[in-house]
Amino acid sequence: MTPRRRLAGIGAFTLASALLLSACGGGTGDDPDATSADGPSTGIVTINGTEPQNPLTPGMTNEVGGGLAVKNIFAGLVYYDADGAIHNEMAESIESDDNKTWTITIQDGWTFSDGTPVTAESYVKAWKYVADLDNGQNQQYFFHDFAGWSDAESSEIAVEAVDELTFTAELIAPSSDFQLWLGYTAFMPMPEVYFENPDVYKDAPVGNGPYVVEEWAHEDVISLRPNPDYKGDRTPQNGGIDIVVYTDENTAYNDLLGNNLDIISNVPSSAFATFESDLGDRAVNQPAAVVQVIQVPEWREEFQGEAGVKRRAAISMAIDRNQVTETVFAGTRTPATDFTSPVIAGYSDDIPGSEVLTYDAAGAKALWDEAEAEDPIGDYTLQLASNADSDHETWITATCNTIRDALGIGCEFYPYPTFDEFLDARDNQKVPGIFRGGWQGDWPSMSNFLGPIYGTGAGSNDAQYSNKEFDALLSEAGKAATPEEGIELYKQAQEILFKDLPGIPLWYNNATAGYAETVENVQFGWDSDPLLHAVTKSE
């Protein structure tokens, strides 16, 4: 859940075929020329970050504060390269005759950083734990297509070890993009030590990925160092990674300009007009699978019923997306036309109902007045909440200005001091109005931009939206015989979202980032995250 923009993307289903290739040998990461013949560099690479909301575990981490760390301290069955293509990491093979029952064989010889072996049972036990409602894992929803899953009671999904290196997974229905899921962190294995003592594990995560956690100094830095026992292709080409916690993105950017920070993953809006000239060929401004939205809480009375739906549409039509993206973001954002991303196969700019994303001040005012006549709320100030330790106040203020001008109501930024405080208030339904949301793709598929955010009971359904017809279309799309049939069903599901507007799409974001003169071989991926293992830095 972060920021970026558009351009022609890779078909998600086309990428799945790459998984069937055999696992490659370990080495230099995605770019075989990333380092010299003398081997990897030894400098510690620094990158900006935020304090994670939760322990660094695959089952709990579903936000950017911890996401970058988790994907570097764990290795899964597959990994995504910069373009979103998938390659085997731990998997030896992933096979199915019917796309419903899968047999997965992992490579021999892998270990966790505590020296214990990674086995088929490491996956089976981890997946069952995350999928069981009783364990309160944020990532539970990502197993909803597995046979045996339940969001209403304790359950056990149909995943079973066959032998030390082989396990099976049964889905409730065939899925043509199952392989694409498996690079996401929710599907990583977990060591036995976690299940024995999860409280101790919280501050001392044990993974099997390219890096190990040397130290987690809360509110300060997460120090990752190369894992000497890692056996995959993402071999670190540096001496380690320090994820430095910043409460102000302008400070991070100034540190970058002074070569006191190596990589910044999101340039502050104050530098949008200048960062490409500031950094030259070290500036990053490229398409990524990220969409920014405003979430509309179902528990807010003013947005319930027919009048509430009209208010949602009025707010959407009152936002001048073209003006905000040009004046605030200097063209590094593109006004949204759907709920997914232009880099995802199936993206569309003409879904019925999407006209509510077009600025229409007069139409917006008429809808707001109709709602007021049906269910009056009187003198009203719309509050748009977000965290104040990141660069959101500028665009929220600009957005509120267009809403205020069009609707004749109050509109203001409601700040929470830190990202984790904002998330806690949101999750406990204490946010006093609508709130900022966003989605950074977990894997390159339309399903990933719809189900996790708007599916009933989904782990990232922060607005508590529920629509049985929408859920049914998601299920039908997952069972589709061909990728093309699935895409059409996902488009139909979006028609429902445009009627209900549980979220209001704003714009697609580019990966607007950069790096200092101190590092080389910096590459940002399809999901806007840098491929940290490939970065080189001299002492």
Q: What CA–CA distance (Å, rounded) separates 80 from 128?
A: 24
Burial class (CB in 10 A: 0-12, 13-18, 19+), 202: middle
Token output for 272: 């949008």
In tens digits, what is the pLDDT along the chain, a chain of 539 residues? 332 222 222 222 223 322 232 233 233 334 433 344 355 899 999 999 999 989 999 999 988 889 999 999 999 999 999 888 889 999 999 999 888 999 999 999 999 999 999 999 999 999 999 999 999 999 998 998 899 999 899 999 999 999 999 999 999 988 878 888 999 999 999 999 999 988 778 888 999 999 999 999 999 999 999 999 999 999 999 999 999 999 999 999 999 999 999 999 999 988 999 999 999 999 999 878 989 999 999 999 999 999 999 999 999 999 999 999 999 988 889 899 999 998 888 899 999 999 999 999 999 999 999 999 999 999 999 999 999 988 799 999 999 999 999 999 999 999 999 988 999 999 999 999 999 998 888 888 898 899 989 999 888 899 999 999 999 999 888 878 777 888 999 999 999 999 999 999 999 988 899 999 999 999 998 888 999 999 999 87
Q: List the structure tokens of 221.
A: 């830095």
Question: What does the alpha-carbon distance between residue 340 and residue 338 come to, in Å, rounded to a whole number?
Answer: 6
Tokens of 257: 């300009």
The two three-digit tokens of residue 384, written as one number: 């748009």
Q: How far is it between the farthest Cα atoms of the chain?
A: 74
* Side-chain-side CA neighbours of residue 179 (13 Å): 28
CB 506 within 8 A of CB 437: no
DSSP state of 96: -
- The tens digit of pLDDT for each residue in 161-212 reads 999 999 999 999 888 788 889 999 999 999 999 999 887 788 889 999 999 9
Which neighbouring-strand residues pair with 102? 169
Q: Which pLDDT does position 20 carry in this prediction?
A: 30
Contacts of residue 285, Cβ cutoff 8 Å, sequence gap at least 6: 276, 332, 510, 511, 512
State the pLDDT at residue 533. Answer: 98
How do 410-416 and 381-387 pair as beta strands?
parallel
pTM flag (> 0.75):
no
Token pair 């080389």: residue: 520
Contact of 508 with 4, CB cutoff 8 Å = yes
| Residue appearing with tokens 């024995």 | 196
Distance (Å) of CA 352 to CA 129, 170, 429: 40, 35, 31
Return the residue matching tokens 């799309």: 477
**176 closest CA partner among 281, 79, 282, 100:** 100
How far from 413 is each of 53, 73, 503, 509, CA to CA, in Å? 22, 36, 18, 21
Cα 511 from Cα 525, distance rounded (Å): 9
Residue 457 Cα to chain centre, angstroms = 18
What's the pLDDT at 39? 59
Q: Using CA atoms, how far apart are residues 413 and 432, in angstroms rounded to an integer?
A: 11
pLDDT of 5: 23
Residue 217 to residue 80: CA distance in whole angstroms: 29
- Strand pairing class (240-245; 44-49): parallel
Amino acid at 530: P
Q: How far apart, in whole angstroms, are the C-alpha atoms of residue 227 and residue 483?
A: 38
Whole-number pLDDT of residue 443: 85
Strand partners, 216: 222
Residue 374 to residue 371: CA distance in whole angstroms: 5
Question: By C-alpha distance, which of 135, 124, 133, 132 is closest to 170?
Answer: 124
Count Cβ neighbours within 10 Å for each residue of 39-57 and write b for 16 or more, e otherwise.
Answer: ebbebebbbbbbbbbbbbb
CATH code of 288-511, in short, is 3.10.105.10
- Which burial class, exposed, middle or buried, applies to 189 when counting CB atoms under 10 A from its CB (0-12, 13-18, 19+)? buried
Token readout for 80 is 């995504």
* Dihedral class, residue 281 (left if φ above 0, else alpha if ψ from -120 to 50, else beta): alpha
Q: How many residues does the chain have?
A: 539
Strands (DSSP E) contained in 64-182 are 78-80, 86-88, 91-95, 101-106, 159-163, 166-170
